[in-house]
């Protein structure tokens, strides 16, 4: 039940983009078309889960034993950048088709602050490795969901008459704000589930 709560909370209640405002750059930049948003969402899910596992192990087995916690952010940035490059090289060799599908999104993920944010959050929340993996994957699904919904709305906006003063990035930001408000409707769901199942 604890993992279900983490899953629901990460996707809906504490959505990484719409509630915690991490990963805004790709959210605004890669959300023009639904198929592009789905590709970015899949790439983020893969890299975010993998990066969380690796950074968690680095924290537990390297930084903590040697008292190097103050190097956490720097170490995580280096690990994530190296991991994305490694994934890119491996995909190019092993699966050229998948590399072509994700290749354009992989460099964007290196600069996606959501990846670093989740890596740091799982340490701050004192999660176990399995909880960290569930949280990372759920967060990536939440990111993909928000990105896909937003891309669908933006595709519809292209066929809508928008007042001249609101065209361009203005209507995009207003739409993102309204979508964020819609996701706020899920606040309290995790608390209700905890009370329902008698969890603290």
Q: What is the pLDDT of residues 120-130, one digit of tens each?
A: 999 999 999 99
Regarding predicted confidence, which is higher, 131 or 105?
131
Q: How many C-beta neighbours within 10 Å does residue 32 have?
A: 14
Categorize the per-residue pLDDT at 67 as very low, low, confident or very high, splitting at 50, 70 and 90.
Answer: very high
Q: How far apart are CA 175 and CA 147, in angstroms?
A: 12
Instruction: Identify the pLDDT of residue 200.
Output: 59
Share of the chain above pLDDT 70, in %: 92
The four Cα atoms 123, 54, 79, 29 give a dihedral, to 10 degrees, of -80
- The residue ranges of every structural domain in the chain are 1-197
């Amino acid at each position: 039940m604890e993992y279900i709560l983490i899953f629901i909370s990460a996707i809906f209640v504490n959505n990484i983009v719409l509630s915690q405002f991490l990963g805004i750059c790709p959210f605004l930049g890669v959300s023009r078309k639904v198929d592009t948003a789905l590709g970015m969402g899949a790439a983020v899910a893969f890299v975010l889960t993998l990066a969380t596992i690796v950074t968690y192990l680095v924290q537990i087995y390297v930084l903590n034993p040697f008292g190097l916690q103050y190097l956490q952010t720097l170490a995580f940035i280096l690990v994530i950048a190296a991991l994305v490059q490694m994934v890119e090289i491996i995909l190019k060799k092993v699966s050229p088709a998948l590399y072509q599908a994700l290749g354009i999104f992989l460099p964007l993920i290196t600069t996606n602050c959501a990846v670093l944010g989740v890596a740091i959050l799982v340490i701050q929340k004192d999660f176990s490795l399995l909880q960290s993996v569930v949280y990372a994957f759920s967060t990536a699904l939440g990111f993909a969901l928000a990105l896909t919904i937003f891309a669908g709305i933006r595709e519809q906006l292209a066929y809508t008459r928008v007042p001249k003063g609101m065209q361009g990035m203005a209507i995009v930001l207003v739409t993102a704000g309204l979508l964020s408000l819609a996701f706020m409707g899920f606040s309290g769901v995790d608390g209700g589930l905890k009370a329902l199942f008698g969890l603290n």
